[in-house]
Structure 1
Amino acid sequence: MLRKTLLYLSHQPQIFRFVRNNGLAKKFASRFVAGETIATACDAVAELKAKGITASLDLLGESVTNEAEARETARQYLALVDEMQRRGLEVNVSVKLTALGQDISAALCEENIRAILAKVKGYGGFVRLDMESSAYTQRTIDFFERRLFPDYPETVGVVLQSALRRTLADVDWSVQKQCRVRICKGAYLEPATVAFPDKRDVDANYVEAMQRLMQKGRYPGLATHDERIIDEAIRFAKANGIAPDRFEFQMLYGVRRDLQERIVREGWRMRVYVPFGTQWYPYLMRRLAERPANLAFITGNVMKEMVKGR
């Protein structure tokens, strides 16, 4: 019931208009979304940089419905990376292929992402292809492996989700290819035939994938807010002589900022995924709808920071 309600609300433009003009709602959103413009997004990245934390910027928006929207998204990404370079920020962005036209035409999507990759490569930066639901997993991996990685092996990487039953096989594939991977748990509501319904299995799969990537992968991104898993990663790194520059931790903007700073203080690398753009309301509502437990997750992590005096 909660999921259906959240999805319904995410598609109501009149509510979106109200929320965008509501000070309290915007204040809540600003905790997790770095404003609506390239300027505010870069400001957030600069603030993180001052704390020794790197970032990956993500322009909010998922599947587009026509070619013009896909090209406009690509244009905005090109403007974004230009501004990051101009301001002396590390050029690192996350992109959803559906926002560049994956559901319209593979050729259109490839044209758009290649334009972004070419510019980012020139700046010595990096592009992460976000993973969406399991319906896109193989399509995204195939697109990456056949159309992008051969020409941009240093510039582009993918995301794998430990919630999916297939992920350890995909981890082994990534190790063989020596491509860069972000491992996360996954926020999408998936059928039990393709994903683990039990959180304990998702966590166990994450730890196994994480350890394989840390030992044999190419600079993996360990995306988690689970303090137990983070501590296990640190223990595993120390026990196996894995240096801090061999991997990085990754977290969401606004979530467990205390833990982000602790990781940096202890000498490990930390990158924050920073979403921004006008589509922040549907973004937040869809993330909550995909797995209503995310609401408890966000609330719980905010409370943890409050208890720690942040």
Structure 2
Amino acid sequence: METLLKNTFLFLSKNRFANRTAKKYGLRLGAQRFVAGEQIMEAIAAVRELNNQGIVVTLDHLGEFIFTEEEAAELTDCCIRTLDEIASSGVNANLSLKMTQLGLDISRELCMQNMRKILDTASKHQIFVRIDMEDYAHNEISLAIFEELRKEYGTTIGIVIQAYLYKSEQDIDRLHAYRPNLRLVKGAYKEPAEVAFPKKEDVDSNYIKIIEKHLLNGDYAAVASHDDKIIEHVKKFAKEHQIPNSQFEFQMLYGIRTGAQQELAKEGYTMRVYVPYGNDWYGYFMRRLAERPANVGFVIKSMFKK
């Protein structure tokens, strides 16, 4: 049943009609549990609240299904405004973005032009920008773009590696030359067995492997997981190998395991919460339900709260 629900939510996440319909109802469908709001100032308020708990943040202005240069330009402006608001408000946050938001599916050149506008602003404000990894079809071009921009913008930029892909260990080796700041995740897209581990236990095993490899390389790791076993393993591994807490952080999603987030921060670990905002929240919301179908119960309850 859980597999059926997961596949259903992943299918719905790419349904354009459902996306348009969801926008009409806003966050009332239950997404407010996982999305900070539709406007930037709502997101800044959520960041400030988390900062007050000793938690740092990465902000993500949501956007999918981009088909025109005008849409890409609009989302680029949203990313730039997010950086400006982070700087002016003084909150402790960085920025995450998807390159398909910036026109990657229209042309590589358009995406690069928009990325450079964002990174110019980020460099001015000294704010870190993370390229989110998308589905396998965008994996290789995303890595190539990161390598090019890393040479231009240095440590201002980072990227994501997904443990469910067979190639991820090789990608860790490939990127080590750049001493990259990597967010390490299990992966949230539905991919064929030709490119990704189909079994959860294999994904978990590979996740541990790439975390350890990246840490032993001496590079900065953002370990994005809600799994207590993974978190405890990283803590123990870091102590055994004398890896300082300053070389890694834990990351979790907004609205999920808030108690655990606060506890990790109290223990002295850098705890970063991924806070999405914007009116194009539908695809993100469906993938969160797919990752953990039990979240459906929380959503149903929230829809009936007064």
TM-score (norm 1): 0.89
Does the 8 Å contact 1:10/1:282 carry over to 2? no
* 1:125 Cα deviation from its structure 2 partner: 0.9
Of the two structures, which has the highest relative contact order with CA contacts closer than 8 Å and spacing of 6 or more? 2
Q: Does 1:100 align with 2:102?
A: yes
Q: What is the aligned-residue RMSD (CA, Å)?
A: 2.1
Change (3 A) 1:151 1:217: same
Larger displacement relative to structure 2 (13-22 or 79-88): 13-22
Aligned to 1:71: 73
Deviation of 1:62 after TM superposition, in Å, equals 2.3
Alignment of 1:194 with 2:195, yes or no, is yes
Unaligned ranges ≥5, structure 1: 304-310
Contact 1:10-1:286 at 8 Å conserved across structures: no
Cα distance between partner residues in 2 of 1:50 and 1:194 = 42
Contact 2:23 2:280 (8 Å CA) reproduced: no
Distance 2:23 2:182 in 1: 37
Q: In structure 1, what is the Cα distance between the partners aligned to 2:71 and 2:110?
A: 11
Cα contact 1:10–1:285 (8 A) shared by 2: no
Report the equivalent of 1:308: none
> Structure 2-normalised TM-score?
0.90
The match for 1:248 is 249
Q: Could you tell me the percent identity over the aligned residues?
A: 41
Distance between the aligned counterparts of 2:189 and 2:263, measured in 1?
29
CA distance in 2, matches of 1:293, 1:115: 33
> 2-side partners of 1:259 and 1:119: how far apart?
33
1:19 to 14, 21, 25: 25
> Which residue type is aligned with residue 30 of structure 1?
Q
Match of 2:151 in 1: 150
Aligned to 1:137: 139
Matches within 5 A, 1:34-53: 34-53=36-55
Q: Which runs of 5+ in 2 are unaligned?
A: 300-306
Q: Within 2, Cα distance between the matches of 1:136 and 1:274? A: 23
Residues matched between the structures, number? 293
Deviation at 1:219, TM superposition (A): 1.5
Distance, in Å, in 2 between the alignment partners of 1:282 and 1:156 is 24
Give the 5 Å matches for 1:264-283: 264-283=265-284
Shift of 1:171: 1.0
Please list the CA deviations of residues 131-151 of structure 1 after superposition, one character each: whole Å capped at 9, or x if unmatched.
Answer: 0011111110011112x0111
Q: Map 1:224-263 to 2 at 5 A.
A: 224-263=225-264
Q: Deviations over 1:210-238 (max 9, x none)?
A: 11112214211101111100000000011
Contact 2:94–2:129 under 8 Å retained in 1: yes
CA distance in 1, matches of 2:115, 2:264: 32
